[in-house]
Amino acid sequence: MPQLLKITLKRLLLGLLTLFVVSIIIFAAVNMLPGDFAEAVLGQGATPEAVAAIRRDLGLDQGPVVRYFQWLAGALQGDLGTSFAQANFRSFVGGGEAAADQTTVMDQIRPRFENTLFLAGVTALIAVPFSVGLGILAALYRNSAFDKATNVFALSSISSPEFFLAYILILFLAVLNPWLPSLSNIYDGMGLGERLQKTLLPALTLTLVVTAHMMRMTRAAIINLLASPYIEMARLKGMKPMRVIVHHALPNALAPIINVIALNLAYLITGVVVVEVVFVYPGIGQLFVDSVKIRDIPVVQACCLIFAAAYILLNLIADIMSILSNPRLRHPK
């Protein structure tokens, strides 16, 4: 079996094991949330019989171990359960069976996840070239005023909370200079141009958040290679500094750069909760917050599981890309 295939299968099995452990943690953490959906939906005047009827209808009267394995078995088949919040209860008092017309969790998550992927894609198209370009220039002009300015910019953006950056951009780009809308109220059927316009402000916020990591890693990886013998030889041949960096240093610095890019792309999917809430962006992060508020347990569990799976998958892709970009990893001794 080829070495790359062995390493990939090993990483994949480790990722699946990690996802299984994370699913246990997710289920336990979600079920430890204070409050109860049945009590929340019925209010303070709910009778114990009504609460018990709804809990029985939703399966909340069963033990946590039974409910976990039922949820896990459904998730393995692509069924993440049904949403509590979308239930239409017609009868839950008097000992009768509580009937409910429920919307599946996948029906709720699918359009929201597509919106989050669109936001992450727009951010990646802006942030990755911008960050790598800044890192190359900072390495080329290291210790110059430009290098110091980019480092100050990177440290400032990485040290600022997402909501603070979001409100600053809203102030300057939507209030003082109304170039972009402050709310990202996108909907199905919206044209691509209008959708991009409404997505640009949250995308710029996320760009400021992730640029620092990628720029500083690019700069550090390239500077570490500039003292290598082959770089000195390229300089002695009279090559221009930019050509030396782009054609000789950058290809050999791809492994750490790819890793940090993958980690930041994972953040664009799993860490967008605050940004989506600030801009009222209809993504999976906003759905997650809304579901936590009303204790819609199946939706909260599904969102957490998708976040974990996306993070693990992107880390796996980063490992494979790092191996492909480094011959020493492709052919270990």
Region 16-36: mean pLDDT is: 84
Q: Write down the pLDDT at residue 6.
A: 80
The CATH number covering residue 274 comes to 1.10.3720.10
Record the pTM: 0.82
Please indicate, yes or no, if residue 185 is contained in any of the structural domains. yes
Write out pLDDT tens, residues 293-321. Answer: 877 888 888 998 998 888 888 888 887 77
Which amino acid appears at position 146 of this protein?
A: F
Please indicate, yes or no, if residue 272 is contained in any of the structural domains. yes
Whole-number percent of the chain with pLDDT over 90? 13
Segment 107-110 long-range contacts (CB within 8 Å, at least 24 positions apart): 108/83, 108/287, 108/299, 109/80, 109/284, 109/287, 109/299, 109/302, 109/303, 109/306
Helices 297-325, 3-31: inter-axial angle, 10-degree rounding: 160
Q: Write down the pLDDT at residue 81.
A: 80
Q: Rounded to whole angstroms, how far apart are CA atoms 192 and 225?
A: 42
Q: Write down the pLDDT at residue 99.
A: 43
Please indicate, yes or no, if residue 232 is contained in any of the structural domains. yes
Average pLDDT, rounded, for the chain: 82
Q: Rounded to whole angstroms, how far apart are CA atoms 183 and 173?
A: 12
Domain residues for the domain of 162 are 111-284
Q: Write down the pLDDT at residue 51.
A: 74
Please indicate, yes or no, if residue 97 is contained in any of the structural domains. no
Q: Write down the pLDDT at residue 97.
A: 44
Q: Is 89 helix (H, G, I), strand (E, B) or coil?
A: strand
CB proximity list for 14: less than 8 A, separation 6 or greater: none
Please indicate, yes or no, if residue 206 is contained in any of the structural domains. yes
Instruction: Assess whether pLDDT exceeds 70 at residue 249.
Output: yes
Region 36-62: mean pLDDT is: 72
Please indicate, yes or no, if residue 301 is contained in any of the structural domains. no
Please indicate, yes or no, if residue 289 is contained in any of the structural domains. no
Write out pLDDT tens, residues 157-205. Answer: 888 888 898 999 999 998 888 888 888 888 887 888 888 999 999 999 9
Please indicate, yes or no, if residue 96 is contained in any of the structural domains. no
Q: How many domains does the chain have?
A: 1
